Amino acid sequence: MTLPEPVETMASPLRMEYTFVAGTGRSVFLRGLARRQLLARRCPGCRMVYAPAPAFCSGCLLPTGPPFALSGRGEVATFCVVNFPFPGQVHQPPYVVAHIRLDGADTRLQHLVREIAPELVRIGLPVEPVWVDDAELDTSTTSIRWFRPIREPIGPADA
């Protein structure tokens, strides 16, 4: 007897609602996103710069310092290329999900990298955020559509 083809997916009416409690520390970061700011905070003990920042340093347990704005630029710290389709997917594969190390921060922020062919993305690629329109800004990382490569002028003709 031959086995039938496996059922790989099935539609299901199940839904789950989540309430994400950002906490007092990360709320600062999320409110910054609604103003197109990427806010960081430094630990006064170990000097680690968090973005997003918790209220307390996870290493020292000291309260992190006052928030300050980063430029928003950063570089790809690591990434993966999503090549497979799955139900509910927002973007058409292939696309890149990366950890971005923002300039001036010691932590990483996970986001999409677009406006570049996935096979050209590299660790160390300089990137900048592409913000949504004013009406779409929110206390969420969705205020950033994605990160894209920073295209520096190459010479006088390109300036």
Binding site for Zn ion (CB under 5 A): 43, 45-46, 57, 59-60
Q: How far is the CB of 61 from Zn ion (least distance, A)?
A: 8
The neighbouring-strand residues paired with 146 are 130
Q: Between 50 and 79, name the residue whose CB sits nearer to Zn ion.
A: 50
DSSP state letters, 104-126: T-SS-EEEEE-SS-GGG--TT-E
Q: How far is the CB of 31 from Zn ion (least distance, A)?
A: 23
Q: How far is the CB of 57 from Zn ion (least distance, A)?
A: 3
Q: Between 48 and 97, name the residue whose CB sits nearer to Zn ion.
A: 48
Q: Between 54 and 129, name the residue whose CB sits nearer to Zn ion.
A: 54
**Bond prior to 94 in cis (omega within 30° of 0):** yes
Q: What are phi and psi of 143, to 5 degrees?
A: -65, -20
Asked if 145 and 93 touch (Cβ cutoff 8 Å), the reply is no
